[in-house]
A and B are shown apart, each in its own frame.
Chain A
Amino acid sequence: MKETFFRTLSWLHTWAGLLVCWVLLLIFFAGSLSYFRHEITLWNEPELHQGVYQDYQANTLENQLDKNQQYIETHSPAAVQRWMIDFPTERKPFQSVSWQLPPEKGQRRGKTEEHVALADGSSMISEVRESRGGNFFYRLHFDLHYMSAITARYIVGVCTMFMLIALISGIVIHKRIFKDLFSFRRDKGTRSWLDAHNVSSVIALPYHLMITYTGLITLMLMYIPWTVNTAYSGDNQAFLKELNPARQTEKAAGISAPQMQLSQLLPQVKAAWGDTPIKQVTVSYPKDQNSQVTFYQNTGKDVTDEANILIFNGVNGELKYASPHDASGASATYDTMMSLHTARFAAPLLRILFFFCGLLGCAMIATGTLMWAIRIRQKQQKRLDKGDKPSLGLRLVEGLNFMFILGLPLGTVAFFYANRLLATHFSGRSEWEIHSFFIALVAMGVWAFWGRSRRQWQMALILIGSLYCALPVLNAFTSPSNLIDNIQSHQWPLVGFDLLAVIFGCAMLFASNRLTLIAKSPVARPALNKTHVKADKTRRSELTSQSSLEEAKS
């Protein structure tokens, strides 16, 4: 399209990136946070911060099952569709029972109520504040919000496809990819931004390619559905049955039948699985003729998303289905790719590494778009010096940069503050936590409209940094156990949350400090443009411009 192949791909890289970078920033940011989805949900439920933690106990399974079944039978309403008993796992270290009510009009699935057991077995906590917690960020990164899930997934799919093109073209045009692998030249203006962009892309390149492609694969049956039509001559149900043989297609018979004791199934489970921990026991359509009991295995570090399950008839206890142990070829590949994307198998250390790579992805996108804004500003500098206004494109990009790069962290911290500061019980509470996320995002957009100069960036960074650093203080005042308590009682997810908040906050305050240095550096050229280094922790915040240090009005 342009004179050479190289220039064409360079153009394609720029535009494929620019058109969708802000949505991608949202997706990558929310996605990175979703690696810690259960931990965030736990932090968002301070009622569970004390006396709830317990480890999986293999020797008291029978007692626990009996106790829990009895609890459900006495406490749940009659017309429930599902009972769920969750055993402690590494990431959700508590015992809980839940039941699913039948769906109301317009809902696909009914609401789930969860009661969490105290570790000493004395009672159950039933009043936990309503909050989506980490699940909000998880859903946000592919279902977006304020729109139907299907629309959102198509939008995300288009953006992901653009991201894939940007990645491929980026690799091709980065001629010096091996020579410049470790180069990061600071204090060199646009060159430093380019190095930061290259570094954040290349050191996690396998991750970026993997997460983008597996993201597409996770929803591939929605994006290209005609393969199923072709192979199965339109019989989608047959395909779904082959893909997931355990899928239950029977509905409730409507005829009541006695529900058997779940603990009586334990010997069969032990015979099949040995000592492997059980993650969950589900009873579908309890007290019905068609009821089924499903045991879910805790697959731990297996790189798989397939549930390892045993399904029993709920009335007479005969085994109906056992997960096959070998899957080969395309189904195994499909399963592996999906599990690479969701990373459910990752233990804490690997999970932190995944999170780090996700943040590098955010840095890659942010440095890219900031670099573009700076280059365009430099190109227009002569005009601007004469007193012309910046072009619409430049204003738009700078404004969107300000809004998203600062608004996403602000929205997140607003979400957490709302979680603790809103009244604990009122209807629509979880929705209002989410509204505060978007209100903060829009507020940054409005701020961007009024001013996006270096001073504004600095003020915003100081504000957001302080809010993050104050999160552990907020936690101490609004939760029964503060950071010190959590360290003493080994509740590491909560400790990690507080520490990470402080690290984020300090990084932003540090970045705002660098902006002060830039503003104060002498006017003598060549400008001492210091560029902040930590590509993994901070948002790209300094605007370096070779010829102007004064505020640029909108």
Chain B
Amino acid sequence: MSAEFDITETLDVKGASCPMPVVKTKSAIDDLAEGEVLEVLATDPGSMSDIDGWASGTEGVELVDQEEGDEVYKHYVRKTE
């Protein structure tokens, strides 16, 4: 699951729980340029559903991938506009 996109920035929200992973992802994506990809590292199991839901309900972002690793959930969000 690599080499499909380049990661521009990484946001570490390990330890944080709802709603912070989504809220901080939104703030971090605001600082990116169109086409860039944000990697989000979270330990909140709810982030799998929450970041997916946020990305599908929000203009200008696209969830390109999610990975469930050992205790860390990785999310890759592209800014599309």
Real complex partners, A and B? no
**Residues of chain A having any CB pair with chain B under 8 Å:** none
B residues contacting A by CB (< 8 A) are none
